[in-house]
Amino acid sequence: MIRRTLLSVLLGLAVLFGTLLSAPSPARAAPYAAMVIDARTGEVLHSRNADTRLHPASLTKMMTLYIAFEAVRLGEITLDTPVRISQNAAAEPPSRLGLQAGSTIRLRYLIRAAAVRSANDAATAIGEAISGSEAAFARRMNRTAEALGMTRTTFRNANGLTEEGHLSTARDMTTMGRRLFYDYPQYYNIFSRRTADAGIATVRNTNRRFLDAYRGADGIKTGYTRAAGYNLVASAERGNVRIIATVFGGRSSASRNERIMELLDMGFARAPAQAQVRRPELPVYGNDGRAGRTTRTTGLVTSSLRPLPRPLPPAGPEDIPEASPELLAAVADAVEDALAEPEAPEETADATETPIPEPVPEEAAPQEVLLAEAEPEADPTDAPATPSVIPVPRPEIVAYDSTEIELAVINPDPEPPAQEIVTRASSSGERLYGVSLGRYPSRFDAEQLLLRTALAELGTFDEALRNVVNRSGGFEAQFAGMSEDQAARACARLMSRNITCTTYGP
């Protein structure tokens, strides 16, 4: 009996030992790497295993988005281009937007889904829309990486799913984050959104916990696969200092976030309070025979010159009419009157004429700004109002700059003419209301604020006129020519973005 019991115990121990031997070993933690830089100068403040080639996971989508922004800038595609979803894109594993094969969706929504939701199907669809296939897009990604100085990075797909040879480094991904900020600042705000309208769904940011937890944080991108661990490229700004930090191989999203905040704190402690910003140049691609479009960038236009008037054909003697005695007498009287009065100065400090603001044509607005609109697009069937102009005396242009044209009206009458007003016709109620953004020390500051706000809120102020009023406390920046309801909704939208404003009316 005792022998049988002993044999049973030994047999049980043998089975247990065999089970332990055959059980799979726990997964090893992904290799750790980190990098911290001063974004203003690119100076390295901390690095560890920064040049080790590791799996980037969804940090890959930073390059996918960079090329999408580049393609829009180069005119290869627009934000409103309808993209047909392939079976390949629709079949990508999670994280996904839920795109269906054969459906179409505008590029802007794919960008939002890839940046905010980290949607794999959206990233693949972006690559196929720009280059025709994911393989061709991967070749363009590698060409762009080389042009940006990402020397130890090779891409195989647009979304970052684990694939042989799809590798990068903490140093290269930190470079990628800096280039997104400086090369395409008009898009950068998308990385700090907690939610975004992706057309078929509202998506939530995979990085929202870090964005909410760290003061000054405004991006950039998370990444996770079993092979990569928990990755993050993060950026934060405090005062005049911006720090970018990268972590590869985190053990969990919580520990990764804790580590990235420690690295950012280290960066802010080590970075100087003042530093000269060294902006990188846009990449230049050489014609080396590799696949992909060869593009040579020449930079932005530094000035906008006024075109010269078209010369008139010379008039022959027979084309000049003979002046009548009445006309000659009137001219002589006008000359005598002008000589009898003191000459008026060309400009006065207390001029009462309000410069006529130049309306911004809708087609002149950069397409990049349209991405920032989370609101539905304006109904294209709603035709823009036709401007009506009250005739004014023939002007002579005496001064010109990029924001306004001052007019000097030639009029022999001693009484100055009544101020002429150029306005926009209204087809939907009285447009006697507006939004004031406050008063500023100079006209230039007020005009710049109006321009930035109009570009960021194109759908809100597309029918409003920008106006700067010189008041005793400074120059007041106003959006005028709105209905009461439009002004109220516009101000509410601005206040939701922490922009101070007030409405005014008749």
- Which positions are catalytic? 58, 61, 118
Q: Which of 63, 58, 228 is nearest to 139 (CA)?
A: 63
Token pair belonging to 243 = 């720090």
User: Are the C-beta atoms of 453 and 499 separated by less than 8 Å?
Assistant: yes
Task: Let me know how long the chain is.
Answer: 506
Distance (Å, whole) CA 411 – CA 425: 28
User: Are the C-beta atoms of 249 and 32 separated by less than 8 Å?
Assistant: yes
Q: What is the DSSP string of 247-297?
A: EEEESSHHHHHHHHHHHHHHHHHHS-S-----PPPPP-----S-SS-----
- In 333-419, where do the E strands start and end? 387-389, 395-400, 405-409
Give the side-chain half-sphere CA count within 13 A for 488. 3
Beta bridge partner(s), residue 250: 230
User: Are the C-beta atoms of 458 and 365 separated by less than 8 Å?
Assistant: yes
Q: Give phi and psi for 104, each to the nearest 5.
A: -125, 150
Q: What's CA 230's distance to the chain center, in Å?
A: 27
Question: Looking at this protein, which amino acid is placed at residue 362?
Answer: E
CA distances from 387 to 57, 390, 460, 461, 467 (A): 53, 10, 19, 16, 17
User: Are the C-beta atoms of 116 and 196 separated by less than 8 Å?
Assistant: yes
Token pair belonging to 235 = 């950026």
Q: What angle do CA 367, 368, 373 make, to 5 degrees?
A: 95
